[in-house]
Amino acid sequence: MKFSDLALFLEKLEATSSRIEITKILANLFGKANANEIDKIVYLILGRLAPTYENVVFSIAERMMVVAIADAYKKEKSDVQKKYKELGDLGLTAYTLAKTTGLHDLAIPSVPEVYDELRRIAKDEGEKSVERKISGIAKLISRLDPLSVKFVTRIPVGRLRLGFSDKTILDALSWLEKGDKSAKRKLEKAYNMRPDIGYLAKLVKTKGLKDFSAGIKPDIKAPIAPMLAQRLKSPEEMVAKMGLVSVEPKYDGLRILIHYKKPDYLRTYTRNLNFIDKSVFPELASLGKCIKADEVILDTEAVGMDPKRQRLVDFQTTMQRRRKHGVTAKSGDIPLQFQVFDVLLKDGQSLLGEKYVDRRAILERTIINGPIIKIDEHTLTNDPREIKKLHKKYLKLGFEGIIVKKADSHYVSGRTGWRWVKMKEVETAAGKLADTIDCVVMGYTTGKGKRVGFGVGQFLAGIRAAGKIKTITKVGTGLTDEQFRELKSRLTKLEVKDKPLEYDVHKDLGPDFWVQPSLVVELAADEVTKSPKHTAGLALRFPR
């Protein structure tokens, strides 16, 4: 496919607000793509070059793109800046200059050619890489027609923003094969096991829906979407729904998936599948000494320790270990211990379909407990009274509560069925919610007073319901100064120009900046009340 043909599809997508119409346009696009290019097309229309967990970044600032546009069309940098200030969009700026200059090459490059060149530019590092990146972008866009230029110049600076996500791509793949969304659940299951939307699209294109799942299995080089806990009101209800259960302490730390292969392959991911460089966790340098296997994928909770008191620290203190600088000093002040509670892969064999008690047995034969990594303790029971007793015990010891797991449950990504259930301290607190709520950050407002320095005053949070993300609260408390700064850094990377299609927001609640629906936060509150403005129909009182 010529990139100019892809640009025509991008123009249609940009002009469309209906999710159904977007899905149909994407399905049509995928139908015209061949198997050797569909993965590249999928990445490009999402504004990236790889699955998110590979962390391939362009490192191209807007000022660099201004220089590249000026070089491509033989303009003064100041003229490009003036036009950009007038239009407010680098893509439109480049499009306008390309139309008036008419210097683009007549030999129209294909989608794979453009993708490969963008990837080469993104991978360029070292001395004078900035100059080479600018030169590479300038040469590339000088070969493109004006419409293609509009979209290509937006991609490296993170401004493509067509208003859809990986989940919309799954809908479109179902529509491509079935003419409707009936295959979405099957596709989502595969995506959770291998969250690489380009790889998945290529499998569907080459094998069809009937046989594509044979190519989906746990891989040491790709994360698996983690299993999440549901909520039930009482131990009695837990036993009634789950039968024999494993009761374990709930740690208030960082959910970390560890991928290790001898002799020294190590990658770590958060519960949102964000890659964390191993330099952030120097404790794991000696991990190989603690594992009796050639390769494993482990599900863990990283918790900070007070080295003087030999006690767990709170979540806010543990979060200080996420910083990129001063890691060595912080690892001495707040050493981490990785509490292991599941094993998903061992020596090439998937364990996702094994019963939980069997996975625990394999785990105990695989891990050598020590100060860095340790299997968490557990108790098998079907007695509600014992569950209550263990809940009180772990709260007294400083844990967040308990996790209750169905003894014969398989490992299933996401929050489905009554397999894992959590029970926290707030259950027994008068006037409080029975538990925290996982919410999606939808946007944020700039701060006032002290918050001006942070760039965030409040963020708008919502919950998923009926295929939409509906607002339930605005949050401006419960974060430290450092957390506000980190939140701003993360939200800036997720900003989008327009409200995402799946957001259902009252006109009076719109934030200053919208963000992609990819950051999930855990909120506590005193109670839930009815709300005429929040589109969930409910609001959190005193959220934090």
Catalytically annotated residues: 250
Query: What is the C-alpha separation between 397 and 388, in angstroms, rounded?
Result: 14
CA distance 492 to 403: 34
How many Å apart are CA 526 and CA 437, to the nearest integer?
12
Are residues 313 and 254 in contact, defined by beta-carbon separation less than 8 angstroms? Answer: no
The stretches of 338-378 forming alpha helices (DSSP H) are 356-366
DSSP state letter for 128: T
Residues 6+ apart with CB under 8 A from 459: 441, 442, 443, 444, 445, 474, 475, 476, 487, 491, 511
Residue with tokens 């100041």: 78
Cα–Cα dist 454/444, whole Å: 12
Cβ–Cβ < 8 Å for 79, 72: no
CA–CA gap between residue 424 and residue 403 (Å, rounded): 9
Beta strands in 94-241 (DSSP E): 230-231
Contact 419, 409 (CB under 8 A): yes
Alpha-carbon dihedral sign for residues 103, 106, 112, 116: negative
Distance CA(544)–CA(526), nearest Å, equals 9
**Residue 417, token pair as written in the block:** 């069925």
Which residues are bridge partners to 320 per DSSP?
A: none
| Residues 6+ away with beta carbon under 8 Å from 122 | 49, 56, 57, 58, 59, 156
Largest CA distance in the chain: 78
C-beta of residue 302 within 8 angstroms of C-beta of residue 318: yes
Closest C-alpha to 34, from 205, 281, 289: 205
